Structures are given as structure tokens and as C-alpha cells.
Homo-oligomer: A and B are copies of this chain.
Amino acid sequence: LDNEEIDHFRAEFLELHPYDQAQIFIEQSKKIRMQIYTYLSPDEMAEVFENIELDDIDSILTEMEPRFAADILAEMALDDAVDILNSLEQNEVASFLAIMNAKSANEIKDLLHYEEKTSGSIMTTEFVRVKSSMTIREALNHLRKEAPDAETIYYVYVIDDDKHLVGVISLRDIIISEEDWYVSDVMSDRIVSVPAGEDQESAAKMMRDYDLLALPVVDFQNHLLGIITVDDIMDVIQEEASEDYSKLAAVSDMDKVDTGAWMAAKKRLPWLIILLFLGMLTASLIGRFEETLDKVALLAIFIPLIAGMAGNTGTQALAVAVRGIATGESDQEGKLKILAREAGTGLITGLCCGVLITVIIYLWKDEFYLGLLVGISIMLTLIVATLAGSLIPLLMHKMKVDPAVASGPFITTINDIISILIYFGMATAFMDVLL
């Protein structure tokens, strides 16, 4: 390892954006990574670490010297370091905190106890706060001093003597103000803030609606605890949408494309096996109508059609309801309205599809009564399945369960069962006409 080579590597590597540094770093073999650790300072590694995904970081942390790892964690942006520690085992966290310098360890400890997915868990305490009695000049000087450590200096939060959040002032306003004005004259007291215990999705919605670059997090007495920055919120928006999406498809936790077949199978099998048992329930239901089926074997032909339509309309209704809940468009009052609308939608789509299928079967098989049976079954099925597709997520939301858990395949299987009951129930009742 001659010195010239190290200098060359440092010059090239540090010229890159930290995100690109991280991309390169993560692709190296363990041997080369071990070398990189000796070339870079904890400070420089911290920037790389801030851009590595959580899933990859665990194995990297264990391969390096614990003290070096602790130094990196201490140098990182506070919220990113907390994210990493939150993903580790309790005893690993304790040992890192023990060898870290006391100041960083305390800052991290303060943030570690917030529950996952709350606003508190994604905030940072590295931000700039000023007193309302300062002048703009004092504020600017304070800002210059704090700039190297702060996550953002574009919003500065104003507190009173008891640390209550009383205002916000943007760097833009500071820049265009006269230096001897007071902060209290320039600041805006129209503050949007979020309680620390509030879901991170609410914070994301606020930042999106109000077009904020940072959002202050407060406790229930309006003390300023920290801020959430927009880069973290972009990840939250992406993450929450992906989560709803993967649940709709019944994949627990979306596989990354590079995961192997075993891992992928492990993530999907639990769902498939649950659905297999639900499917057995459907099978045993049809089994009860074996007598009917023996008499009119033609009935079997339309089973997948009816069950399929029930599944499709249910999935549509489910998706609308889940997104409505996620984007906060449905509040308590709106729920009955949603159900009424879904009932109407089910009725309209059911009538259209029912009439269409009756005509088709009549023309195709020359069987009017069979066509009518299938048509009426489809109509009733669509109404019930559409209602079920929106009722189930709304009920789950009411019971404080994440409605996205009612995945598409799950609703589909429930609706399969409903549709089979309707179809064979009607077929059995009107057997005389069919024979």
C-alpha cells in the first residue's frame, strides 16, 4: 500500500457524490472494503454510510472494527445513525453506544425510544433554532456557526424562553431582510408542526400539501423536539406506497430484484399457503353441491368466470378504499357515503355484466335459463363483492388495523366463496327449471 496509490484513490473517490461513493463501495469485495476503511476517515465513511440502504449495512458493520464503526455512527447525520441502530439487535446497539463518545451517544439515545414509523422516529435534532429576540444579524451569525452540523439551514425555528415553538423564518427571508431588524418582526407565526407520536404518513401528507422543505416535530406542550427534512419524507412516500402495493399483491415486504429464489419463495409462501387453505374451503363448499353438479355438469363451466368476476370487482373496490384511507380522503363521516357509492357501483356494473352474460350464453349455448341463472348470479355477486371489497378495509381501519393487510388475493378468495354460495345456492333452488 504505497502512499501515492492511497492519495490517488482518495482524490478520485472523494470527488464523487456520496451516493455514487456508496454505490461503488457496496459493490466491492470484502477484501477491498477492508482496504477502503484504512484509506478513509470515519468522517468520510459517514457520508458513504448515509447513502447505503439499511438492508446492506448490517453485514458491513460487523466486518469492521467496532470502534471505527462507532466513530462512523457518531459522525453520521443523527437521524440516519438512529435508523441504522434501530435495525440492529439490542445488545449490538448497547455495545456501539458504550464505545462512542458521550455527546453523540446521548443524542442518539434521545431519538432511539421513538416508536417505528412515528414522526419522532424520522426526525433529527440537528437543526438551527434562534430566539425571537435576536436581530437578523445575530441570527445569521448563529446560522453560520451551526451550518456545518445542521441537516438543513433553510428553515430556522424560533423558540421562546421555555423552548416553545413560536415561529419559523426561512433563510430566504433572512437574506432579504435588513440586518438590524428583529427575528420576531420577520418570522412567520403561521407554523405547521406535527406531534412526535403521529404517524410518519401524516407528516408526509403535511409536507406534500404545504410544500415544506422541513417540518418541526413538537411534544404535546408545543416544545420543539426536532425537525423532519424533505429527503426523509421522499423515502417515506415511496416506502408507504410500495408497501400498499406489495400488500395488494400479497407479497409480504417487496422482494428486491436481486434477492434469490429461496428468499423470494420464503416471502410469498406464507401467503400462498393461507390462500391454499381458503381455496380448500371453496372446494369443500362446492363439494356440498355435488348432487346439483352431478345433475347439471354444465354448471361447472361457469365457476371460474363467476369467481373471477367477484375477485376482480372486489380488488377494484379494495384498491379505491385503501388509497382513500391512505391519502386521508375518507374521514369518519365519509364512510357511509363510500359504502353507498360502492353499493351503487356494484349495482350498475352488476346489471351491465349480468345482462351481457345472459345474452351471450343464450346465443352461444341456446340455454336461456342457464344464462339467466349465471347472469343473476353475476349481478348479485358483483354487488356483494364490491361492497365486501370496500367494507372490509373500512372496518379494519375502524379497528385500527392497517387496511392494506386485506390484500387483493385475500379479498379475492373471500369473494370466491361468496360467489360460489350465490351461484350454487340459486342453481339448487331453481334446479327444476334447469333440468
User: A257 contacts which of B143, B192, B330, B349 (Cβ < 8 Å)?
Assistant: B330
User: A313 contacts which of B209, B268, B293, B408 (Cβ < 8 Å)?
Assistant: B268
State which of A28-36, A64-72, A234-242 sits at the interface with chain B: A234-242
- Least CB distance from A281 to B in Å reads 9
Report which residue of A311, A348, A420 has the largest number of chain B beta carbons within 10 angstroms of its beta carbon: A311
- Asked if A425 is at the interface of the complex by the 8 Å CB criterion, the answer is no
- Asked if A144 is at the interface of the complex by the 8 Å CB criterion, the answer is yes
A305 touches B283 (CB 8 A): yes
Residues of B within 8 A of A231 (CB): 208, 211
Residues of B within 8 A of A13 (CB): none
Copies in the complex: 2
B250 touches A352 (CB 8 A): no
- Asked if A312 is at the interface of the complex by the 8 Å CB criterion, the answer is yes
Can you list, as one digit per residue, whether each of A252-294 has a CB less than 8 Å from chain B (1) or not (0)?
Answer: 0011111111101100110111011001101110110010011
Can you list, as one digit per residue, whether each of A388-423 has a CB less than 8 Å from chain B (1) or not (0)?
Answer: 000000000000000000001100110010001000
Residues of B within 8 A of A16 (CB): 190
In terms of DSSP, what is the predominant structure of the interface of chain A?
helix
Report how far A254 CA is from B280 CA in the complex, Å.
33
A153 touches B172 (CB 8 A): yes
- Least CB distance from A261 to B in Å reads 3
- Asked if A4 is at the interface of the complex by the 8 Å CB criterion, the answer is no
A249 touches B248 (CB 8 A): yes
Residues of B within 8 A of A147 (CB): 172, 175-176
- Least CB distance from A192 to B in Å reads 7
**Beyond known contacts A208-B238, A282-B304: 11 more, CB 8 A cutoff:** A153-B175, A154-B213, A246-B323, A257-B320, A260-B344, A273-B352, A276-B305, A279-B304, A282-B308, A290-B297, A311-B412
- A–B Cβ pairs within 8 angstroms, 25 of them: A17-B192, A17-B210, A19-B210, A144-B176, A147-B176, A211-B231, A234-B237, A245-B248, A246-B319, A257-B320, A257-B338, A265-B344, A265-B348, A273-B352, A276-B353, A280-B360, A282-B308, A290-B301, A297-B297, A297-B300, A300-B303, A304-B304, A304-B416, A308-B412, A311-B412
